[in-house]
Structure 1
């Protein structure tokens, strides 16, 4: 039950953060979501794009998680299924709110960070880069938020180079907010909201 509530809450946070704040301002937030947004020009919905990328690119990450801990593998599959579905279900939110780009970048990053943070706290991930960050953090005793921030920064820099769009510099703000939220949520051993 705890895992289901975490998955539902976290998936809604990620879906709201992406559809309401990040996608409308055309920036990327790193991770598998950022890679998905980079190739959104194919006209495929973001959630389905994530599944395609998982199959084509991130199979080694899933195999690594299977070797490291089978529960991480199954939790990642579950996290991917929930997150992708909720993101697609919440696509009608796209364009409902019109905020300044800096405000959207901050609020979107915080909302996504809360979702990812609570997932990782329960050893669940939406897969891809977040799963890799979880594996690295567990094997090196590093906070997963730090690992996510480093990897997301590299993805955003790649996005700036590939798309040649300086507006993506706002993405640095978004991934900073994601990283900070994930770091805070995973820094304390007992956060007594509705999950431990």
Structure 2
């Protein structure tokens, strides 16, 4: 149930709030969104292609995470692509979209992490690092996501990058509150 609800929230947050304002999240989703904006790739399918190496790595270390994360990856990618029509339904300012989208996405990711699953991308990597080094998962997610945003500086307008930082911080904090360490 956590995979379905978390994936639904992820799909709503991405399509209803981030994409209409050309905002990105971090990690694999952020890379998939950048590829969507510039090459019109389907975001969900791109998430699967980019996440598979991380899932394979996880299978070598934490088999339980691998299977639940593979399910989370496939279901969340499906919801991200199925809910694409939301992209033209909600119109809010960049700030409101970043905050609301961040809370919705963070709730979905946090819910999945709480029940030992994830979307398979850098969420899974952050969970493994968090358990290994006892570092708060929010800090790890914000660091990884920050690197993705820095990489996007040459591709997106500064306005989009700054509001993406707000969204990413909101996702990380919400994930930490809901998913815990």
Q: Shorter-chain TM-score: what band? A: over 0.9
Tell me which stretches of 4 or more aligned residues in structure 1 moved more than 6 Å.
Answer: none
- State the TM-score, normalizing by the size of structure 2: 0.94
Structure 2 Cα separation of the partners of residues 123 and 133 of structure 1: 12
> 1:34: Cα distance to partner?
0.3
Residues 92-142 of structure 1 deviation map (CA, whole Å, 9 limit, x = unaligned)? 111201111110011001100000011111111101211110110111122
Please tell me whether residue 166 in structure 1 is matched to residue 163 in structure 2: no
Q: Where in structure 2 are there 5+ consecutive unaligned residues?
A: none
Structure 2 Cα separation of the partners of residues 68 and 165 of structure 1: 39
Structure 2 Cα separation of the partners of residues 164 and 71 of structure 1: 37
Larger-gyration structure (1/2): 1
Residues 43-80 of structure 1 deviation map (CA, whole Å, 9 limit, x = unaligned)? 2211111122234xxx1x22331122111111111011
SS in structure 1 of the partner of residue 144 of structure 2:
helix
Q: Where in structure 1 are there 5+ consecutive unaligned residues?
A: 189-196
Structure 2 Cα separation of the partners of residues 84 and 154 of structure 1: 22
Structure 1 Cα separation of the partners of residues 62 and 46 of structure 2: 26
Please tell me whether residue 17 in structure 1 is matched to residue 9 in structure 2: no
Count of paired positions: 179
RMSD over equivalenced CA pairs, Å: 1.3
Given that residues 143 and 186 in structure 1 are in contact (C-alpha distance below 8 angstroms), is that contact kept between their aligned partners in structure 2?
Answer: no
Structure 2 Cα separation of the partners of residues 149 and 121 of structure 1: 18
SS in structure 2 of the partner of residue 163 of structure 1:
coil
- State the TM-score, normalizing by the size of structure 1: 0.87
Residue of structure 1 aligned with 2:106, choices 109, 113, 117: 113
Structure 1 Cα separation of the partners of residues 168 and 24 of structure 2: 9
